[in-house]
Amino acid sequence: MEAAGRLVACLGAEGLVIALVGPLGVGKTVFAKGLAQGLGIPPDLVASPTFAIASEYRSTGGRIFAHVDVYRLESAAELDATGFLDLLEPGNLVAVEWADRFPEALPADRLQVQLERGQAPPGEASVVERQRSLNAVASGPVSRAVLDLWDQAMGSRGG
Protein backbone atom coordinates (compact mmCIF):
# COMPACT_ATOMS: atom_id res chain seq x y z
CA MET A 1 0.00 0.00 0.00
CA GLU A 2 2.85 2.38 0.79
CA ALA A 3 4.45 1.82 -2.61
CA ALA A 4 1.11 2.45 -4.34
CA GLY A 5 0.68 5.76 -2.50
CA ARG A 6 4.27 6.78 -3.22
CA LEU A 7 3.73 6.16 -6.94
CA VAL A 8 0.55 8.27 -7.04
CA ALA A 9 2.31 11.21 -5.39
CA CYS A 10 5.22 10.93 -7.82
CA LEU A 11 2.85 11.29 -10.78
CA GLY A 12 2.37 15.01 -10.19
CA ALA A 13 -0.94 14.67 -8.42
CA GLU A 14 -1.33 18.42 -7.89
CA GLY A 15 -4.77 19.43 -6.76
CA LEU A 16 -5.79 15.81 -6.32
CA VAL A 17 -8.21 14.66 -3.64
CA ILE A 18 -7.94 10.97 -2.80
CA ALA A 19 -10.91 9.36 -1.07
CA LEU A 20 -9.60 6.38 0.90
CA VAL A 21 -12.24 3.78 1.66
CA GLY A 22 -11.96 0.44 3.43
CA PRO A 23 -12.33 -1.31 6.76
CA LEU A 24 -10.26 -0.64 9.85
CA GLY A 25 -6.66 -1.82 9.51
CA VAL A 26 -6.71 -2.36 5.74
CA GLY A 27 -3.93 0.14 4.97
CA LYS A 28 -5.48 3.60 4.51
CA THR A 29 -2.86 5.29 6.70
CA VAL A 30 -0.09 3.21 5.13
CA PHE A 31 -1.24 4.46 1.71
CA ALA A 32 -1.15 8.03 3.08
CA LYS A 33 2.41 7.47 4.35
CA GLY A 34 3.34 6.48 0.80
CA LEU A 35 1.78 9.68 -0.55
CA ALA A 36 3.90 11.69 1.87
CA GLN A 37 7.02 9.78 0.94
CA GLY A 38 6.36 10.41 -2.75
CA LEU A 39 6.38 14.14 -1.98
CA GLY A 40 9.65 13.88 -0.05
CA ILE A 41 8.00 14.04 3.37
CA PRO A 42 9.36 11.45 5.82
CA PRO A 43 6.60 8.84 6.16
CA ASP A 44 7.32 8.35 9.87
CA LEU A 45 5.92 11.88 10.43
CA VAL A 46 2.54 10.74 9.15
CA ALA A 47 0.15 9.19 11.65
CA SER A 48 -3.57 8.63 11.49
CA PRO A 49 -5.20 11.99 12.25
CA THR A 50 -8.25 10.33 13.85
CA PHE A 51 -8.25 12.64 16.87
CA ALA A 52 -6.81 15.73 15.18
CA ILE A 53 -9.11 15.22 12.14
CA ALA A 54 -6.56 16.77 9.76
CA SER A 55 -2.80 17.12 9.58
CA GLU A 56 -0.84 19.19 7.07
CA TYR A 57 2.70 18.49 5.92
CA ARG A 58 4.88 20.65 3.68
CA SER A 59 7.31 19.00 1.28
CA THR A 60 10.79 20.37 0.69
CA GLY A 61 9.45 21.64 -2.65
CA GLY A 62 6.70 23.56 -0.87
CA ARG A 63 3.76 21.30 -1.76
CA ILE A 64 1.17 20.69 0.90
CA PHE A 65 -0.02 17.20 1.75
CA ALA A 66 -3.19 17.20 3.85
CA HIS A 67 -4.18 13.97 5.58
CA VAL A 68 -7.76 13.94 6.85
CA ASP A 69 -9.61 11.29 8.85
CA VAL A 70 -13.38 11.68 9.22
CA TYR A 71 -13.96 8.51 11.27
CA ARG A 72 -14.96 10.38 14.43
CA LEU A 73 -17.14 13.00 12.75
CA GLU A 74 -20.92 12.77 12.85
CA SER A 75 -21.79 14.97 9.87
CA ALA A 76 -20.48 16.73 6.81
CA ALA A 77 -21.16 20.02 8.63
CA GLU A 78 -18.58 18.99 11.25
CA LEU A 79 -16.08 18.39 8.46
CA ASP A 80 -16.75 21.87 7.07
CA ALA A 81 -16.22 23.33 10.57
CA THR A 82 -12.71 21.84 10.69
CA GLY A 83 -11.59 24.04 7.82
CA PHE A 84 -11.63 21.20 5.30
CA LEU A 85 -12.46 23.51 2.40
CA ASP A 86 -9.27 25.48 3.09
CA LEU A 87 -7.26 22.31 2.47
CA LEU A 88 -8.62 22.06 -1.09
CA GLU A 89 -6.29 24.78 -2.39
CA PRO A 90 -4.98 24.26 -5.93
CA GLY A 91 -1.73 22.32 -5.86
CA ASN A 92 -2.42 20.54 -2.57
CA LEU A 93 -2.60 16.77 -2.37
CA VAL A 94 -5.41 15.77 0.00
CA ALA A 95 -6.08 12.24 1.28
CA VAL A 96 -9.32 11.60 3.18
CA GLU A 97 -9.66 8.41 5.22
CA TRP A 98 -13.19 7.02 5.70
CA ALA A 99 -14.29 9.19 2.77
CA ASP A 100 -17.40 7.07 2.24
CA ARG A 101 -18.91 8.57 5.41
CA PHE A 102 -19.51 11.98 3.78
CA PRO A 103 -19.00 11.69 0.02
CA GLU A 104 -21.18 14.76 -0.54
CA ALA A 105 -18.58 16.89 1.29
CA LEU A 106 -15.80 15.94 -1.12
CA PRO A 107 -15.10 17.58 -4.48
CA ALA A 108 -16.77 15.89 -7.44
CA ASP A 109 -13.33 15.37 -9.04
CA ARG A 110 -11.63 12.86 -6.80
CA LEU A 111 -9.80 9.57 -6.97
CA GLN A 112 -11.60 6.99 -4.86
CA VAL A 113 -9.27 4.26 -3.67
CA GLN A 114 -11.09 1.26 -2.23
CA LEU A 115 -8.83 -0.95 -0.11
CA GLU A 116 -9.81 -4.47 0.86
CA ARG A 117 -8.33 -7.50 2.48
CA GLY A 118 -7.71 -10.52 0.27
CA GLN A 119 -10.11 -13.43 0.39
CA ALA A 120 -8.59 -16.51 1.96
CA PRO A 121 -8.96 -19.87 0.25
CA PRO A 122 -9.51 -22.73 2.68
CA GLY A 123 -6.33 -23.47 4.63
CA GLU A 124 -4.46 -20.32 3.51
CA ALA A 125 -5.79 -17.64 5.85
CA SER A 126 -2.42 -16.79 7.39
CA VAL A 127 -0.93 -15.94 4.01
CA VAL A 128 -3.88 -13.96 2.66
CA GLU A 129 -4.29 -11.87 5.83
CA ARG A 130 -1.30 -9.81 4.68
CA GLN A 131 -2.62 -9.41 1.13
CA ARG A 132 -4.60 -6.35 0.19
CA SER A 133 -6.38 -5.32 -2.96
CA LEU A 134 -6.85 -1.84 -4.30
CA ASN A 135 -9.45 -0.54 -6.72
CA ALA A 136 -9.29 3.07 -7.92
CA VAL A 137 -12.03 5.03 -9.67
CA ALA A 138 -11.64 8.55 -11.08
CA SER A 139 -14.57 10.95 -11.15
CA GLY A 140 -13.21 13.99 -12.98
CA PRO A 141 -10.43 15.31 -15.24
CA VAL A 142 -7.69 15.72 -12.60
CA SER A 143 -8.31 12.32 -11.04
CA ARG A 144 -8.69 10.69 -14.49
CA ALA A 145 -5.31 12.04 -15.63
CA VAL A 146 -3.63 10.70 -12.48
CA LEU A 147 -5.39 7.34 -12.73
CA ASP A 148 -4.33 6.97 -16.37
CA LEU A 149 -0.70 7.72 -15.48
CA TRP A 150 -0.89 5.38 -12.47
CA ASP A 151 -2.33 2.62 -14.64
CA GLN A 152 0.46 3.12 -17.23
CA ALA A 153 3.15 3.10 -14.53
CA MET A 154 1.75 -0.08 -12.99
CA GLY A 155 1.59 -1.71 -16.42
CA SER A 156 5.24 -0.88 -17.03
CA ARG A 157 6.08 -2.52 -13.68
CA GLY A 158 4.31 -5.71 -14.63
CA GLY A 159 1.09 -5.08 -12.68
Share of the chain above pLDDT 70, in %: 88
Range name among 14-18, 32-36, 107-111, 151-155 with the lowest pLDDT average: 151-155
Which residue did the predictor score with more confidence, 126 or 146?
Answer: 146
Q: What pLDDT is stored for residue 15 in this prediction?
A: 86
| CA distances from residue 69 to 65, 94, 100, 116, 159 in whole angstroms, order as listed | 13, 11, 11, 18, 29
Label the pairing between strands 93-97 and 64-69: parallel
Architecture of the CATH domain 2-156: 3-Layer(aba) Sandwich (3.40)
pTM of the complete model: 0.87
| Confidence tier at 117 by pLDDT (50, 70, 90) | confident
Alpha-carbon distance of 66 to 92, in angstroms, equals 7
Pick from 120, 134, 140, 18: which is nearest to 69 by CA?
18
Domain range annotation of the chain: 2-156
Of the pLDDT bands very low, low, confident and very high (cuts 50, 70, 90), residue 37 is very high
Average pLDDT across the chain, whole number: 87
